[in-house]
Structure 1
């Protein structure tokens, strides 16, 4: 679509997390006058509570995997955009299967994953235990092993995208919540008063649903969900922990990675019974990793996340005099796919055919 036919005003990106900053950066680099509005500080939402892991393998979700493969390439070249490289320490990603159905699903998924560019293989239980020697005597049939998983630095990525967006001419406003959108006129009611936009990009994370609804897009994100990651100290024995890959126990959802002398630990969402959830995490941690039974477990990070029903991001465009674009529902993996998400938002803005299957990311009755 020709920019000459657009109403006056900038393209406005709502949300200053890693996805919103990527979108603002890509639009500004393409010559689009861009303003980003963030209700709090940059990276203060879901980007504040991540495991700092960039990975390419998303089991059963080759669309997100393809986005992550593109994003990893962008992170490797990040210094050219932001002026400094992104730290990437390779640790690998191990997914443990204890049920035949999980193994069969992995096998069926492998061709699509490899077509998406993911390096992944199904390995036996013995090899899985060699990758992660902390594993106890838990039922284990097989595992998926994907070497392209890296410990990074979310704060550095947020700062890098912000610097690159500013260099390209984007204006980043913090402490500026968006209260309402009139998509017919492009007027936004913000903390700084009314702002007229020629296009709107909603990347507001957990607060995206009501903003999208005002434009006629239903994003079933529900209420904001608070995520909590825990840190587990060294074993009571005092024995140093070996380097282990990021490991997901598929049955329980227990996710760990090495962090300092201990582990960073996650397992779903706490819900209202936070103490009960922490007790369940400790119980499962001791079951899967017996050496950690009795180790100190405490809160590492908390942050608000948006979660889609199928754990796949919503990215799309609603056409109109004032185009409305959205990028939300990343379900905790926005760091892994943010560069590709920004590319896709840019391509949808210009009406280009993207390099990824954008149709599978758009909000649709099947997904809603």
Structure 2
């Protein structure tokens, strides 16, 4: 016997931060909504992030605009619902190791400001005061954005899911989607449900889910691993948390309790994990001497969904009752509330707050 209703206005596929945000905003707008998650809520890419929401995205004022709106929405959601999202301001520091990087930043600074981002150029010495572990001699300057917050991704996912249920949405975990018919009929082991619209927010499985509906969604998935160092030495300790800090090598660090969380891409096509770890360790020690030679341990791993240009896909298929929100390239946590708003407005026939055409799969390459 089916545990699903026969019909609903919308089926949202994916119970991560994007899917739960969409379900919450649809349900609170009076849209009959069912969310289906193949595993546990937040068990996909939402569970393998560095746990920071930030508003500044170098090179992408469009993504920054979604992130600015989302940061504001998280604060409003926490205040409105009383949900503790673990928000703690830490700031975001982008390091520059040559003058060309500085010029690139200055060239787009006005667009970032127009997107609502608070970000400014700071000297190497100022950067060293923001991140006390940094060897100032290794950089020429940095960009500083104070609007970045450590957070609890699980609390965000469950907070949105709870709010969605309180607004009338049905949330079903351990319910994988096995088929999607052109008329919006969604098949699962728990039964079949017909939706006026299907929303794909399936993260690393988005292209597979879209394929079930006969939709091509150019999203790929790739593995990521985050590492932990042991605690910095006592002489480097300080009451303030380290900001999320990004180096041009893609090395990024932030405080994680009394340790340091480290990420730097993933092994290359012909690179072993051991060789990658050695490369990470050398870059870490060169940029942050207090962390030189420190043991790197596995912290988190998972798969992320990525678009070819790093900007998310949010839009509606022109021929089928199918809407997508995927390809967030590991930054869905920073964009989920704004993405949920856009999907909600598309389904309600309202004009979204931003140029949604710039987010569709039909957009021109940047």
**Would the TM-score normalized by the shorter structure come out above 0.5?**
yes
- In 2, Cα distance between the equivalents of 1:124 and 1:137? 9
Give me the TM-score of the superposition, normalised by structure 1. Answer: 0.92
Which residue in 2 is equivalent to 1:55? Answer: 54
Which residue in 1 is equivalent to 2:264? Answer: 267
Matched residue SS, 2:110:
helix
Matched residue SS, 1:253:
coil
Matched residue SS, 1:172:
strand
Give me the TM-score of the superposition, normalised by structure 2. Answer: 0.92
Which residue in 1 is equivalent to 2:348? Answer: 350
Matched residue SS, 1:197:
strand
Q: Is contact 1:18-1:43 (8 Å) kept? A: yes
What is the CA distance between 1:195 and its match in structure 2? 2.0
Which residue in 2 is equivalent to 1:111? Answer: 110
Q: Is contact 1:46-1:332 (8 Å) kept? A: yes
* Deviates most, 69-78 or 35-44: 69-78
Q: Is contact 1:226-1:305 (8 Å) kept? A: yes
What is the CA distance between 1:215 and its match in structure 2? 4.1
Once the two structures are superposed, residues 63-107 of structure 1 have per-residue CA deviations (whole angstroms, 9 ceiling, x without a partner) of 111111111111111135543242211111000011222111111
Instruction: Tell me which of 228, 232, 237 is aligned to 1:241.
Output: 237
Number of residue equivalences: 357
What is the CA distance between 1:137 and its match in structure 2? 5.6
What is the CA distance between 1:364 and its match in structure 2? 1.9
Indicate whether 1:207 and 2:195 are aligned: no
- In 2, Cα distance between the equivalents of 1:100 and 1:79? 41
What is the CA distance between 1:119 and its match in structure 2? 0.4
How has the CA–CA distance of structure 1 residues 340 and 169 changed in structure 2, closer, same or farther, with 3 Å as cutoff?
A: same
- In 1, Cα distance between the equivalents of 2:276 and 2:81? 39
How has the CA–CA distance of structure 1 residues 365 and 115 changed in structure 2, closer, same or farther, with 3 Å as cutoff?
A: closer
Instruction: Tell me which of 190, 193, 201 is aligned to 2:191.
Output: 193
The equivalences for 1:333-348 within 5 A come to 333-348=331-346
Which residue in 2 is equivalent to 1:3? Answer: none
What is the CA distance between 1:132 and its match in structure 2? 1.5
What is the CA distance between 1:8 and its match in structure 2? 5.1
How has the CA–CA distance of structure 1 residues 45 and 356 changed in structure 2, closer, same or farther, with 3 Å as cutoff?
A: same
Matched residue SS, 1:257:
strand
Which residue in 1 is equivalent to 2:323? Answer: 325
Which residue in 1 is equivalent to 2:360? Answer: 362
